[in-house]
Structure 1
Amino acid sequence: MSDISISLHDRLVDCGLTLIERGGEVSLRAVARAAGVSAMAPYRHFSDKAALMAAVARRGFAMLEATAARADVTPDAAEALAAQGAAYIGFARANPALFRLMFADGAGLGLPREECEGAYALMTRRVAQLAPARAETGTLACWGLVHGLATLALDGRIAPNPAAEQEVLRLIAEALARPVG
């Protein structure tokens, strides 16, 4: 691929992301219009709408990983784990349509697992520092908690309360750090 086609590919993904978040029509034709290119131009990069949506979901997973990495700045593993969780919930609130595309609407579900696990890997590293013997189950518990809170927030089942969310996240981090028994 030339630099021009890579640039157009990224621009089409950007436009798809913008249309999704605005709640507008998302089609290859709409993305082409938003990008200012011919109706046929997206077909050089995406075979169909599903391929475009997969690329948008892939971008979302990269954005989520970057968000979690920016939150993971302290050497204290419990603090970093809570900060990652808060960042995950914040990402969902800031990008609700993208979050649903990534996790519930099918586009993200069809991606290879390794393309979607960057934020999970960051979480795993911190859980392993807190509970090396329970890293796998501890990470699943943490991810289940933050994903559940994010989903409840998007569904309007919990009101935004960052202080309470932070307390819940600290609680699970402290529980992981306690010895078993």
Structure 2
Amino acid sequence: MNKPRGRPVRGDGMTRGQILDAALLLLEEGQGLSMRALATRLNVTPMSLYHHVSDHAGLLRAISDRVYAAVLAADAADEDPATRIRTLLVRYHGAVKDYPQLTLAIFAQPAAFAGTTRDITDRLIALLGMLTKEAVLWLEILVDHAHGNALAFHALRDHPQQAASMQSRYLEALDQLLARLA
């Protein structure tokens, strides 16, 4: 049976939002995200996806733009740089914790590192640059710390007390690092 081009069997049109929702679900289910698997999930031809996203990296960028958008929510420009850095990192940590497979997929495909993920990095570097001449080094320390802790949550998803303790330790360590930096 041939599938209609770009349309689900029901005959309804497909939106970019539906594609991103299905792709994120595939990622977080651990199914692996390929254009073919996504098309199968959506009951469309793989080529129809390319009307909405340029390629696999473009798909990951679009998903990350959606997931990480809240990280860049307006921060209080009147706050000191260390507080603004903390706010960004806590939001980012939460997004990585909530969507670990997305972060791992971006690690695996460097071309997907653009858009909002790049904007987060640029904002952190600018803020860190207000506190130190070693902004890139501190970026790597702080972001690696956020990644390591947030990705470890996946293993603790069925252990809420341990997860809460890990969250608390993350915040405590982040505060210690920022105190050293400031």
Q: Measure the CA separation in 2 of the matches of 1:141 and 1:78.
A: 14
Q: 1:3-59: per-residue Cα shift (whole Å, max 9, x none)? A: xxxx74453233212222233464545433544545652355568xxx33x233212
Total equivalences in the alignment: 161
The residue identity in structure 1 corresponding to 2:49 is P
Secondary structure of 1:144 counterpart: helix
More displaced 10-residue stretch of structure 1: 25-34 or 55-64: 25-34
More displaced 10-residue stretch of structure 1: 80-89 or 36-45: 36-45
Q: Which TM-score applies when normalising by structure 1?
A: 0.69
Q: Flag structure 1 segments of 5+ consecutive residues without an equivalent.
A: 1-6
Hey, what does 1:82 align to over in structure 2?
86
1:149 matched to 2:156? The reply is no
Q: Measure the CA separation in 2 of the matches of 1:68 and 1:45.
A: 24
Aligned pairs for 1:19-98 (under 5 A) are: 19-24=26-31, 26-35=33-42, 37-38=44-45, 40-42=47-49, 44=51, 51-52=55-56, 54-63=57-66, 65-70=68-73, 72-73=75-76, 75-98=79-102
2:173 to 161, 164, 168: 168
* Contact in 1 for aligned 2:100/2:151 (Cα 8 Å): no
Quick one: structure 1 residues 152 and 138, their matched pair in 2 at CA, closer, same or farther if it must change by over 3 Å?
Answer: same
Quick one: structure 1 residues 146 and 28, their matched pair in 2 at CA, closer, same or farther if it must change by over 3 Å?
Answer: closer
Secondary structure of 1:148 counterpart: helix
Q: Which TM-score applies when normalising by structure 2?
A: 0.69
Identity between Structure 1 and Structure 2 (%): 22
Q: Flag structure 2 segments of 5+ consecutive residues without an equivalent.
A: 1-13, 157-161
**1:176 Cα offset (Å):** 1.0
Hey, what does 2:138 align to over in structure 1?
138
1:101 to 78, 99, 105: 105
Q: Measure the CA separation in 1 of the matches of 2:179 and 2:17.
A: 41
* Contact in 2 for aligned 1:20/1:98 (Cα 8 Å): yes
The residue identity in structure 2 corresponding to 1:151 is L
Q: 1:68-115: per-residue Cα shift (whole Å, max 9, x none)? A: 213744622212212222222211121122122112xx23x233x554
* Contact in 1 for aligned 2:39/2:49 (Cα 8 Å): yes
Quick one: structure 1 residues 166 and 11, their matched pair in 2 at CA, closer, same or farther if it must change by over 3 Å?
Answer: same
